[in-house]
Chains A and B, each alone.
Chain A
Amino acid sequence: MDAVPLTLMLAAGTTMVLAVLGLPLAYWLATSRRAWRPIVDAAVAVPLLLPPTVLGFYFLMSTGPESLAGRVYERLVGGTIPFSFTGVLAASVLYNLPFAVRPFAAGFAAVDPRLVEAARCLGASRLRAFIRVVLPLSWPGVLTGLVLAFAHTVGEFGVVLMVGGNIPGVTRTIALAIYDDVQALDYAAANEASLLLLVFAVAVLTLTYALQRRTVLL
């Protein structure tokens, strides 16, 4: 069942990219006083409300072979973004943005801003203040965000189907495999995979709520 390693790879990749992009974005959202911050807030949260097909549709439109992004990608890397692992990964990052960034930002917002100011006045750069003061005081939020992003990617269906097609070994994740199994009336295989995802989801949510004993971040 090569869907399992593929799914884990996609989830791990999505989580890593979100850690790199999402942490600074979330910190900006948690501390910015700019007037247009709510717009960015809304943009990050949009995938919570949109059906995955809508996101997938716009993603396909903006990354297809005719699009600017598609042509640049073909020139630099070769191949197309849709129906590739890279494409699924990129779409998955976008779709999971709120699941990572919102808990991150909630964790950061709970850190007393004067502690950061104190660190800055003690000679710490922005980055050092973030690493030494903000992160240690907001790790439950950060961990929650990473866990949710990972788990949500594991269970993703619509976006992967729209953007990745359903190519075994390339873009066919567990969720898609279950769909195929049911279509093929192979209920035994579907049951096995479904049970795996169910147990995984319950375990992840238990872990998440255990981390959030005091504050509910999502």
Chain B
Amino acid sequence: MSRRLDVDITFRYRHGPVIEGAWSDSLDERGVTVLLGASGSGKTTILRCLAGLEQPQRGHIRVGDRVWFDAERRICLAPDRRDVGLLFQDYALFPHMTVERNITFGGARLDRASVRRRLEELVSIFQLDGLEKRRPRQISGGQQQRVALARAVFRRPEVLLLDEPLSALDAAMREDLRNELRGLIRALDIPTYVVTHDRLDALALGDRTILMEGGRIVQHGPTREVFGDPKTPTAARLVGVDTVLMGRIAAVAGGLATVRIGGQELRAEAPGGVGAEAAFCIRAEDVMLARAVAGDMSAMNQWRGVIDYDTVEGPFVRVVVNCGFRLSALVTRDAWQRLSLQSGDPVVAIVKAASIRVLLRGKGAP
């Protein structure tokens, strides 16, 4: 029988917003679910309710056959009874303990030999060799994150919760650590929930995405579906209205990857080798439209398609082209009039390989 995480809660802040969250996930898939939303959308509150740090006023949280919270039956397990691993936004490492003591803090009920063994295992997975006797303030931000993660998973929790794991880092480090984090979560093989406001995090880490706004879940599903087909305008705004494509790299030549998506070939910077799975983000303003394929052109991507629909946005027109996948283009009204195209007409969409943003993806998604 599959073990499920079953959540249906309402949390009311006194004189403040109401946060509602209801969903159900299979824990056997061990995937990563990203809760994506702007700050104040309630995603961190949901995470804290899961951890037992906040108590909702209504609903239930069930993990497998265990009840963590049930308002009607007046059950609310304390955080130490729930078997969760929580990574705090700024890590919350114990400043008075060494790296080693931090990591093994959760091992109070284990015998000495098991603690030793688990510590060595985690130090090696998280590449913390030689840092065991240091204090948190004596190691870098990236190392602190790894220590905090190692500490959170020391007890092999049933569920791993990460609260804005990358927000404490500067932009340059974010990029590197996002990739590193993806690899680590994959190696740990624990069902994981990640809270973030950055859609790039969701694209890089999430097998599933839960979109949140104004204290409510707006959409929930496989990341590919949520980003490829947002169901409501709110969801569309959250994921960005531009195009996100997902695919597996079929070939790499000269640093450029070729990916087949919806019967088209897409070329972009290669983030990994053949077989690597990635998300390709195309901003609407980077897409050019033409009536026919051009022979002598530097742009690497020219896709034939059909105009789906167009809407005016100020001085621009947003044109959605169906070329095996839906691609959003933003062109000026003048240019759109010059092309004199309408729904159903054939068109060629042109995108430079350099303007496609590539993000390596987590496991799982097809």
Contacts and interface: CB of A to CB of B under 8 A. Distances in A.
Given A137-B95, A137-B96, A122 B106 contact: yes
B79 A121 contact: yes
B208 interface: no
A120 interface: yes
Contacts of A125: 78, 80
Query: Counting chain A CB atoms within 10 Å of each CB, which of B79, B93, B106, B154 scores highest?
Result: B79
B108 interface: yes
B94 interface: yes
A117 B85 CA distance: 11
20 contacts: A112-B92, A114-B88, A114-B92, A115-B92, A115-B94, A118-B86, A118-B93, A118-B94, A118-B151, A120-B80, A121-B53, A121-B80, A121-B82, A121-B84, A122-B80, A122-B105, A122-B151, A122-B155, A123-B80, A133-B94
Interface string B72-93: 0000001110101110101011
Contacts of B109: 123
Interface string A99-119: 000000000000010110111
Q: Tell me the interface secondary structure of chain B in the complex.
A: loop
B51 interface: yes
Interface in B36-89: 51-53, 78-80, 82, 84-86, 88
Please provide the 6 A-B residue pairs with the shortest distance between their CB atoms, ordered closest to farther: A122-B106, A120-B79, A118-B92, A114-B92, A121-B86, A121-B79
Contacts of A119: 94, 105
A124 B80 contact: yes
A112 B96 CA distance: 12
A101 to B, nearest CB: 23
Nearest to A128: B108
Contacts of A114: 88, 90, 92
Contact of A117 (B82, B92, B152, B155): B92
A114 to B, nearest CB: 4
Interface of B: 51-53, 78-80, 82, 84-86, 88, 90, 92-96, 105-106, 108-109, 151-152, 154-155
Q: Which range contains the number of A residues in contact with the other chain?
A: 10 to 19
A169 interface: no
Q: Tell me the interface secondary structure of chain A in the complex.
A: helix
A136 interface: yes
Contacts of A118: 86, 88, 92-94, 151
A120 B155 contact: no
Contacts of B154: 122
Nearest to B89: A114
A123 B108 contact: yes
Given A120-B80, A124-B80, 15 more contacts: A115-B95, A117-B53, A117-B79, A118-B86, A120-B78, A120-B79, A121-B52, A121-B79, A121-B85, A122-B80, A122-B105, A122-B155, A123-B109, A136-B96, A137-B96
B86 to A, nearest CB: 4
Nearest to A119: B105
Query: Counting chain B CB atoms within 10 Å of each CB, which of A117, A123, A124, A132 scores highest?
Result: A123
A5 B94 CA distance: 42
B264 to A, nearest CB: 47
A137 B136 CA distance: 14
A121 B96 contact: no
Contacts of A120: 52-53, 78-80
B254 to A, nearest CB: 47
A122 B82 CA distance: 10
Contacts of B105: 119, 122, 124, 132
A114 B48 CA distance: 11
Nearest to A139: B96
